Structures are given as C-alpha cells and as structure tokens.
Amino acid sequence: MDLAFTEEERGFRAEVRRFLRENMLPEIPRKLAEGRQLSKDEKATGARILNRKGVPTWPKEYGGAGWTPLQQYIFAEEVRALPARFKFGYGESLVGPVIYTFGNEAQKKYYLPRIADAKDWWCQGFSEPGAGSDLASLRTRAVRDGSHYVVNGQKIWTTWAQYADWIFCLVRTDPDVKKQQGISFLLIDMTTPGVSVRPIQLIDGGHEVNEVFFDNVRVPVENLVGEENKGWDYAKFLLGNERFADAGVAISEERIRHAKRLAAQCYLGDERLIDQAAFRERVAAVEVQLKAFELTQLRVVTNASKQQKGSQDPASSILKLRGSEIEQMAAELLMDVAGPLALPYLSEEELESGNEPPIGPDRVASAAPTYFGSRAASIYSGSNEIQKNIIAKAILGL
C-alpha cells in the first residue's frame, strides 16, 4: 500500500487549511485548545461553518460535499489539528447516514437539510437498563395505534439528551419473534408529551449523559425509518459508522500534546519533566502506537469505497477496540503529568457557586475529568468485549 499522498490530495489539504483559517471563529479553537467546553450555540455555529461546502461525510445528492473517503480523512485531520473538532449531537455522523440510506424521500427531504444546517440536535436512544452490550434485549415497546405508535419504556446513557430536539430510537414492535427480528427504528420529537429527561452525574463531574423516559408517547407512523421490524439491520449499519467516528485519533493526539505542554512547564529539581529520558520514552511509546493505529485507520478509509452500500467494514470494530485503548493510555499520561494538582477538580458550575478557587492552575484543570471520563471509552459504541467477538467472527472466521 502506498501511504504517500498524491499532489492532488496535497492540494486539497492546502485548500482545506485555507478554508478553515479564513472561516472558523477564533474562539472555537482557542477554547478547545484550553480543554474548555463549547456551548450548544457555539457548536451550532461551528458546524454550519464546517458544512459550508456540504456535510464532509455525506454524498453530494443529500447535501454532502461529495468527497472521497480519503478527502474526508484529510478534512478531518485538518479540523482536529486546528483544533476545531466537536460534535453537534449525532445527526450528521449517525442518524443522517441511516436516513439517506434507508429512509423514504419525505424523510430525506425534511430531516437532512436541517441536520446539515445544524438546526436540530439529535441524541441516540439505544441502551437501556439491562440492554447495553446485549442491545437486542431492549424492552422499550412501540405499539401501533392507527396512524401512531404508542411508545413506553426507558433509555439510559443518552448523551446530550438535555440539548436534543430529536432522538432516534430502537423500539420493540414485535415481542413474539427472535429478539433481533422484532426491533424498529423510530424518530421521536423530544418535545412530544410523555418524553422526560433525567440527568446522570458522571465521575468526571460533568453532565453529559441522561435517562430518557417514554410514557405513552404518540409517534406518527411516518417517523418509522425503513421497514417495521428491520431496525436491527439499520442499527448495525449505524454502529459501524459510530465505531469509525469514535476511533479517537484526534482525542488521543490532543491529550498527548497537552501532556507535553504541561511537562515543559513542570520541573523536577532543575530539570524539566519533558527533558527527562524516562518521560520521553513513555511519550514516544504512546505516540508510536498511535501512529500505527492511525495507519490502520487510513487503510480502512481507503477500503471504504469497496464496501457495498448499506454495509460496514467489520474492521471498524478493530478501530473502536484499539482506539479506546490508546485513548485511555493518553489520558493516563496526561493525568500523571498533572500529578496531585489534578485532584481538586471542580466543574464550572461548582466554581461559579463556590467561594474557594481551584488549588491547581487552569492548565491542569481538565486532567482529572479527562482521565475519569476516558474509562468509559472501552464501553460506549459497543463494549470492547463485543468488538472482540465481532472481530473473531467476521474477520478471523472463528
């Protein structure tokens, strides 16, 4: 495999850099470089800027840029290098591809332009208490009642549900067949009567995930994507996209850069931490693994054009598995550099309501929540144990 970029691809990279330099709001990369969170409005504005040439990962006929997989990869590289990498919900990366691949024309015409213009924030309603890694055991029911489905049940670990305008859900529409065969894919307006959201406070101090409850929620039948009881097929397609999107190269790169910046400011005696041989060896070991992983991701990208429409490369499970492991290594490195100064972490809400300032400097404030939050990387998007099963079956043929 030739890993060198062509002259045309290098020209495309230069064009992307120029576009980002001339269009991206300067406060977005500044806040991201400082490890601070963007507001919903800032994310919406940033998403509209990034999508001015069309959604980078979508086909042109659906409002996308129409770029090749390799051009998408180059664009993503430049966005994360700025940095300007963030998510405006899961519309663009997850439910959008499901809609333009399996949805009807009315759904494509209504939802896709709104997603591309960052008008709707989407959250994902898959996991339930007792149905996480074994997602096919979900129990949220949708019973047909004339022109509506009546939905009852609960979803959990729903990321950014507190911001969401819509939620895409897996629901059980036939309880009398094999569990994978009785699931459907519904789009639900979060303002519908009977939908309620309860926050979950995480170990990193943040409020990113939630419980979502459905109490006799009436959902129009036209909000069904594809065919009834075919939702499991659409979910597998979506999860393949999610595992590729969550490979984590950008996250790990930024954490390593941040750790090196901190190490350049930390002294042990008269010597900076970054100048110590043992520390440099440790950083190099993580960077080598990250580079090898990035090349693996590039191989998957170059094979993307060979995949049948509506299917996913099982190698996305390799990306998710290894990406989460390296993401955790980078977070641990950052935490070790911050040392005891990372411990007295307070969320922005706690800082605003309290009287005591943080003990450590601002530059280490994100180390502890980053480390604690990274522990979930091996669980979300399908646990690493599940990915090993997929790899064994679909790739190794065991």
How far is the C-alpha of 328 from the C-alpha of 336, rounded, in Å? 12
pLDDT score recorded for residue 306: 62
pLDDT score recorded for residue 243: 53
- pLDDT tens for residues 300-317? 777 766 655 555 667 778
For the chain, how big is the Rg over CA atoms in Å?
22
352 in a domain, yes or no? yes
194 in a domain, yes or no? yes
pLDDT score recorded for residue 4: 73
**The CATH number of the domain where 315 resides is what?**
1.20.140.10
Are 68 and 164 in the same domain? no
151 vs 3, higher pLDDT: 151
pLDDT score recorded for residue 204: 66
**The CATH number of the domain where 177 resides is what?**
2.40.110.10
Token pair of 31, please? 């806040």
Percentage, residues of the chain above pLDDT 70:
88
Confidence label for 388 from pLDDT (cuts 50, 70 and 90)? confident
Q: Helices (H), strands (E): how many in the chain?
A: 13, 9
- Catalytic annotation present for 27: no
Amino acid residing at 67: W
How far is the C-alpha of 158 from the C-alpha of 126, rounded, in Å? 8
> What values do phi and psi take at 183, rounded to 5?
-115, 140
Q: Is 342 helix (H, G, I), strand (E, B) or coil?
A: helix
Single residue among 86, 111, 139 that ends a domain in this structure: 86
pLDDT score recorded for residue 214: 98
Least confident of 158-162, 171-175, 247-251, 386-390: 247-251
- Over residues 153-167, the mean pLDDT reads 95
> What Cα–Cα distance (Å) separates residue 94 from each residue in 84, 193, 245, 341?
19, 25, 9, 38
Least confident of 42-46, 93-97, 339-343, 355-359: 355-359
Are 250 and 388 in the same domain? yes
Least confident of 36-45, 104-113, 162-171, 249-258: 249-258
Note whether 139 and 115 are within 8 A (CB).
Answer: no
pLDDT score recorded for residue 375: 80
- pLDDT tens for residues 245-302? 556 677 788 889 888 988 888 887 888 999 999 999 999 999 999 988 888 887 777 7
Are 75 and 36 in the same domain? yes
pLDDT score recorded for residue 36: 76
pLDDT score recorded for residue 383: 78
Q: Report the domain count for the chain.
A: 3
Are 270 and 369 in the same domain? yes
Taking alpha carbons only, the member of 334, 337, 346 closest to residue 374 is 334
Are 201 and 284 in the same domain? no
**Pairing between β-strand 122-125 and β-strand 195-200 as defined by DSSP bridges:** unpaired
Q: What is the DSSP letter of 360?
A: S
94 in a domain, yes or no? no
Q: What length does the chain have?
A: 398
Token pair of 354, please? 């309290």
Are 197 and 251 in the same domain? no
Taking alpha carbons only, the member of 216, 160, 171, 168 closest to residue 189 is 168
Q: Which residues make beta-bridge pairs with 142? A: 151
Are 28 and 155 in the same domain? no
Residue identified by tokens 């997929």 is 390
Are 224 and 251 in the same domain? no
Note whether 173 and 160 are within 8 A (CB).
Answer: no
78, 128, 208, 242: the active-site residue: 242
Taking alpha carbons only, the member of 242, 253, 241 closest to residue 327 is 253
Are 318 and 370 in the same domain? yes
190 in a domain, yes or no? yes
Residue-averaged pLDDT of the chain: 86
Are 276 and 387 in the same domain? yes
Give ∠ CA 349-351-355 in degrees, rounded to 5: 130
Confidence label for 3 from pLDDT (cuts 50, 70 and 90)? low
- pLDDT tens for residues 31-72? 887 767 889 999 999 999 999 999 999 999 999 999 988 898
Kindly tell me if the per-residue pLDDT of 360 is higher than 70. no
51 in a domain, yes or no? yes
Measured from the Cβ of residue 260, the count of other Cβ atoms closer than 10 Å reads: 18
Are 357 and 326 in the same domain? yes
103 in a domain, yes or no? no
- pLDDT tens for residues 216-245? 999 999 999 999 999 999 998 887 766 555
Kindly tell me if the per-residue pLDDT of 105 is higher than 70. yes
Which phi-psi region, left, alpha or beta, contains residue 269 (left: φ > 0; alpha: ψ -120 to 50)? left
Single residue among 199, 231, 263 that ends a domain in this structure: 231
Least confident of 174-188, 211-225, 362-376: 362-376
- pLDDT tens for residues 197-211? 999 987 766 788 999
183 in a domain, yes or no? yes
How far is the C-alpha of 157 from the C-alpha of 200, rounded, in Å? 8
Confidence label for 104 from pLDDT (cuts 50, 70 and 90)? very high
Kindly tell me if the per-residue pLDDT of 155 is higher than 90. yes
Confidence label for 1 from pLDDT (cuts 50, 70 and 90)? very low
**The CATH number of the domain where 67 resides is what?**
1.10.540.10
Are 225 and 284 in the same domain? no
Owning domain of residue 387 = 246-395
Q: What share of the chain is helix, strand, coil (3-state, %, to 5)?
A: 50, 15, 35
Single residue among 201, 231, 261 that ends a domain in this structure: 231
Q: Does residue 358 have a cis bond before it (omega within 30 degrees)? A: no
